[in-house]
Amino acid sequence: MSILTILEFPDERLRKKAALVKNVDNHIKQLIDDMLETMYHAGGIGLAATQVNVHLQILVIDTSEEKNLPLCLMNPEIISKDGEFEYKEGCLSVPEFFEKIIRPGRIVVKGLDRNGEPVEIEANDLLSTCIQHEIDHLNGKLFVDYLSPLKRQRIKAKLDKIHRLEGR
Ligand code: GNR
Ligand code: NI
């Protein structure tokens, strides 16, 4: 297992669109395990492969209190959505910034599980928000894209400065 490096906004690699996973082989399973380890290590409730610079449709999530219910979904497709849920979202790729975002509050999503078997998940509230946040990553979209251009620009300027100070 290993901890992977998480890309940070405004890194252009976060804008790439992820490709379908064709075959869930041992390499993919190793990547899933590394993504889970990276997510838990960073204290996040979700992680998309895009964030670790792998442009495949893979996401991992654990919204449980005890952090002991890892969920993996590949090639996710939302097949229905309704309602609304507002949550103050954060992102490991936009560290230290949190903003309220409204998204559909109930979704049904289908995809492949860790073994490559088809699954369908009904999700509400936080889990629904988290799945949509991760699917956005796979499409090159970030939660800051839902904010006003002014707010997004302020966040970009602050992170640019931090990255400069860190010599990135
Ligand atoms: O850790 C995370 N918390 C979070 C809070 C509200 C909505 C979405 C998230 S996902 C985020 C981890 C992350 O960046 N996943 O892509
Ligand atoms: Ni994120």
**Beta sheet of 71-82, edge-to-edge order:** 46-48, 58-61, 71-82, 106-112, 118-124
Which residues, in sequence order, are CB contacts of 147 under 8 Å at separation 6+? Answer: 99, 155
Round to whole Å and give the CA distance between 92 and 72: 18
pTM of whole model > 0.85?
A: yes
Residue-level pLDDT at 100: 98
Query: Distance from the CA of 24 to the center of ligand 1, in angstroms?
Result: 25
| Collapsed DSSP state (helix, strand, coil) of residue 141 | coil
Give the pLDDT confidence score for residue 168 in this predicted structure: 78
Residue 109 has a pLDDT of 98
- pLDDT tens for residues 94-145? 999 999 999 999 999 999 999 999 999 999 999 999 999 999 999 999 999 9
* Substitution site in 60, 89, 93 for ligand 1 pocket (most atoms within 8 Å of beta carbon): 89
Residues framing ligand 1 (Cβ under 6 A): 44-48, 51, 87, 89-93, 129-130, 133-134, 137
Distance 63 CA to ligand 1 centre (A): 10
